[in-house]
Amino acid sequence: MTGRPEALFPLFADIETLDGVGPKTAGHFEQMGVKRPRDLLFTLPYSGIDRARRNSLRDAVLPDVVTVEVTVGAHRAPRNRGGAYRITVEDAETSFQLVFFHARTDYLQRILPVGARRLVSGKVELFDGLAQMVHPDYVLPPEEAGEIPAFEPVYPLTAGVSLKQMSKAVASAVARAPVLAEWIDPEQKKRSKWPNWAEAVQQAHSPQKPEDLAATAPARERLAYDELMAHQLTLAVARSRLRRAKGHRTKGTGALQARVLTALPYKPTGAQLRAIRQIEADMAQPLKMNRLLQGDVGSGKTLVAFMALLFAIEAGGQGVMMAPTEILARQHLEGLRLLAEEAGVVLEILTGRDKGAERKAKLAALATGGIQILVGTHAVFQKDVEFRDLRLAVVDEQHRFGVRQRLELGQKGQRADVLVMTATPIPRSLALAQYGDMDVSVLDEKPPGRKSIQTAMVSTGRMAEVVEHLRQAVSEGRQAYWVCPLVEESEIVDLTAAEERFKRLRASLGEDVVGLVHGQMPAAEKDAAMADFAAGRTNVLVATTVIEVGVNVPNATIMVIERAEIFGLAQLHQLRGRVGRGSAESTCLLMYQAPLSESAERRLTTLRDTEDGFRIAEVDLEMRGAGDLIGVAQSGLPRFRVADLERQAALMEVAQSDARALLERDPDLTSDRGKAARVLLWLMEQDQAIRLISVG
């Protein structure tokens, strides 16, 4: 695969090579993300205008687009400038008016001479009881009737590009669509009754009836599938690169795990056991594991990860667990310490704070195998960190990781299996789009005995009541988080809000009762504030969103979120997940500043009405759209022009299995279908996959 296939050249030529596209139109096209003829092929009409010819206007229910043959009658020029120029016309049964503004009289007399027969098409409306067609879309002599399409596709437009220009440019691009060898599984294609690619392009741009515009119309569905297939092929290539041989099988004895399980005060859930089994089976394979562990907040991912780490150690290896923040890394250390002791396993932490001799000693212990499990921040993947025998790398809460970063991580961990954990429940279609290169285990069951969280919406006008409620709770020994909002992009403003709230709450609840933690604090202070809260020395922790992910203080049962209306749904769900972790009743107060916008209201009521992370994710997807939800730039998710992630999840699933099956049979894409698939990757601009294939 040295370069773009020649057959595709015309589609990747300069946009100005298309009919009717000059530098100016090219500029306008660029505004809508259309840079090359190829982009126009995948810009499909979103509706159509029925221009089927009628006998008379009388058959129409107005207002409507009408196409009818008329005899031109009297012209009446406007009395004043800017007035309407009116031409009375008569069809087979009735008469109406053609109306023009700012048109030149000589021009109108030329195209609509009195007494002539003309075919006119345009929207007819009643104005003062009089039927009129303002600025007809078409005015043609009857012998040129063929120029008016019976069903005219309507394209998304941008300022400066008219529908006529657009249609012309599209037609010129469609004419360039070459016949390409088929990349879709023949069975799949037959079952879905999909046309060949070039035919699909042709048909999608020349709908004959409204049904042809539906996402389920065979031509459009095929083009959507092509996009999904190209994306899944990229992920499948990434997956096969990650899954190459690691040169060893990791097979634990179960001895350490058994010790820990007997020491646990609870039993693992069925979902946890299932996930552990899946992970162990993967680790025992000579191929590298690249697995995602997905589970809502509080579903118990840490235990699953720890069991997997023990499995690696039982096999004589080491494991590492990386968290996105220092706070979380420390918390993992605390949370795992007792379990590690139970198992008799050496656990250490490494973060950016480790310096000098201490750091050196830790690195030495890692290199000799003295440290068996390392937790830490991304510092654990610095160049000079070497393990004696790293078998498993666990990445916690990395839902902001894209395919590219995962590939890098896979390279760093060289021969280690990789387990990525995410607490962001995402709908199936998105999981496939974003994590299609991974195998997925889902924790779809929460540990038993969890109480539901009472969630209420409270306007900021009731601040005094909320503080009073808090005072009561504190006097009962309960603990609360108080989250201050991200008011502006600036950290400084955030801080003032948090610090201000901290002062006020101290003033009303008592100096010793309230703590503060935020991202800008010196590390030691941050730790101290977290530790005080975890140990119950403070009852209220005022925080910025640093507590968003993963923090676990089971005794905290109240979550107050100030200005909840400016947070996203997923973030609110994460924040709320900090409470409801113990056996006591928990509450979450969503404080908002009235009036709420419609979308803010929908977000808050959704949160109030459900705790189901998947349900919340679905609403989020519906409200924000896929790209926004996972961050297109970071996720490496392409911008789909035809496919609709929200509605075509099933298609995505088919594309994934098709892509994986193809790659399994033909890892280097050298068969006929493999070669066709390479052309698809070029067509869909999946450079990443192309690069991966070429480096092999």
- Interface residues with ligand ADP (CB under 6 A) are 266, 268-269, 272, 295, 297-303, 423, 447, 552, 554, 581
Strands (E) located in 128-230: 130-134, 138-140, 151-154
Min dist. Cβ of residue 613 to ligand ADP (A): 10
C-beta separation of 417 from 282 below 8 A: yes
Residue 207 or residue 300: which is nearer to ligand ADP going by CB? 300
Please give the helix or strand (H or E) that residue 561 lies within, else none: strand 556-561
**Which residues fall within 8 angstroms of residue 468, CB to CB, at 6 or more apart?**
none
Rounded Cα gap, residues 460 and 286, in angstroms: 58
Residue 552 or residue 610: which is nearer to ligand ADP going by CB? 552
Residue 552 or residue 593: which is nearer to ligand ADP going by CB? 552
Interaction partner, residue 581 (ligand ADP, Mg ion, none; CB < 5-8 Å by kind):
ligand ADP
Rounded Cα gap, residues 20 and 166, in angstroms: 9
Please give the helix or strand (H or E) that residue 497 lies within, else none: helix 491-509
φ/ψ (deg, to 5) at 242:
-70, -30
Residue 548 or residue 565: which is nearer to ligand ADP going by CB? 548
Min dist. Cβ of residue 638 to Mg ion (A): 30
Interaction partner, residue 515 (Mg ion, ligand ADP, none; CB < 5-8 Å by kind):
none
Min dist. Cβ of residue 407 to ligand ADP (A): 25
Enter the DSSP assignment of 85: E
Residue 317 or residue 550: which is nearer to Mg ion going by CB? 550
Residue 71 or residue 555: which is nearer to ligand ADP going by CB? 555
Q: How deeply is 239 buried, as exposed, middle or buried, from its count of CB atoms within 10 A (0-12, 13-18, 19+)? A: buried
Instruction: Report the site for Mg ion in 397-436 (rule: CB under 5 A).
Output: none
CA distances from 277 to 254, 283, 303, 567 (A): 11, 10, 13, 37
Residue 222 or residue 330: which is nearer to Mg ion going by CB? 330
**Between vectors from CA 315 to CA 310 and to CA 317, what angle results, nearest 5°?**
75
Residue 551 or residue 677: which is nearer to Mg ion going by CB? 551
Peptide bond preceding 63 in cis form (omega within 30 of 0): yes
Interaction partner, residue 295 (Mg ion, ligand ADP, none; CB < 5-8 Å by kind):
ligand ADP
Min dist. Cβ of residue 549 to ligand ADP (A): 9
Q: Which of 550, 577, 580, 613 binds Mg ion (CB under 5 A)?
A: 550
- Residue 324 binding Mg ion, by CB under 5 A: no
Question: Among 408, 414, 413, 403, which Cα is nearest to 292's?
Answer: 403
Interaction partner, residue 88 (Mg ion, ligand ADP, none; CB < 5-8 Å by kind):
none
Please give the helix or strand (H or E) that residue 589 lies within, else none: strand 586-592
Interaction partner, residue 436 (ligand ADP, Mg ion, none; CB < 5-8 Å by kind):
none
Min dist. Cβ of residue 266 to ligand ADP (A): 4
CA distances from 345 to 337, 339, 433, 491, 516 (A): 9, 9, 38, 40, 34
> Could you tell me which stretch among 2-10, 52-60, 542-550, 682-690 binds Mg ion (CB under 5 A)?
542-550
Interaction partner, residue 413 (ligand ADP, Mg ion, none; CB < 5-8 Å by kind):
none
Peptide bond preceding 595 in cis form (omega within 30 of 0): yes
Interaction partner, residue 167 (Mg ion, ligand ADP, none; CB < 5-8 Å by kind):
none
Residue 435 tokens, joined: 């994590």
Min dist. Cβ of residue 273 to ligand ADP (A): 9
Residue 242 or residue 303: which is nearer to Mg ion going by CB? 303
Min dist. Cβ of residue 534 to ligand ADP (A): 12
> Could you tell me which stretch among 53-61, 154-162, 549-557, 627-635 binds Mg ion (CB under 5 A)?
549-557
Residues binding Mg ion: number (CB under 5 A): 1
Amino acid residing at 399: H
Look at residue 542 and give its three-state secondary structure. strand
Nearest-CB residue for Mg ion: 550
Residue 254 or residue 268: which is nearer to ligand ADP going by CB? 268
Residue 10 tokens, joined: 């015309």
Min dist. Cβ of residue 584 to ligand ADP (A): 13
C-beta separation of 550 from 377 below 8 A: no
φ/ψ (deg, to 5) at 77:
-70, 155
Q: How deeply is 257 buried, as exposed, middle or buried, from its count of CB atoms within 10 A (0-12, 13-18, 19+)? A: buried
Min dist. Cβ of residue 275 to ligand ADP (A): 11
Min dist. Cβ of residue 324 to ligand ADP (A): 13
Interaction partner, residue 266 (Mg ion, ligand ADP, none; CB < 5-8 Å by kind):
ligand ADP
Residue 573 or residue 581: which is nearer to ligand ADP going by CB? 581
> Could you tell me which stretch among 7-15, 265-273, 516-524, 550-558 binds Mg ion (CB under 5 A)?
550-558
Min dist. Cβ of residue 320 to ligand ADP (A): 17
Interaction partner, residue 45 (Mg ion, ligand ADP, none; CB < 5-8 Å by kind):
none
Interaction partner, residue 460 (ligand ADP, Mg ion, none; CB < 5-8 Å by kind):
none
Q: How deeply is 197 buried, as exposed, middle or buried, from its count of CB atoms within 10 A (0-12, 13-18, 19+)? A: buried
C-beta separation of 48 from 153 below 8 A: yes
Q: Which residues pair with 321 in a beta bridge?
A: 375, 394
CB atoms within 10 A of CB 362: 19
Question: Among 246, 290, 283, 282, which Cα is nearest to 405's?
Answer: 290
Residue 50 or residue 334: which is nearer to ligand ADP going by CB? 334
Footprint of Mg ion on this chain (CB under 5 A)?
Answer: 550
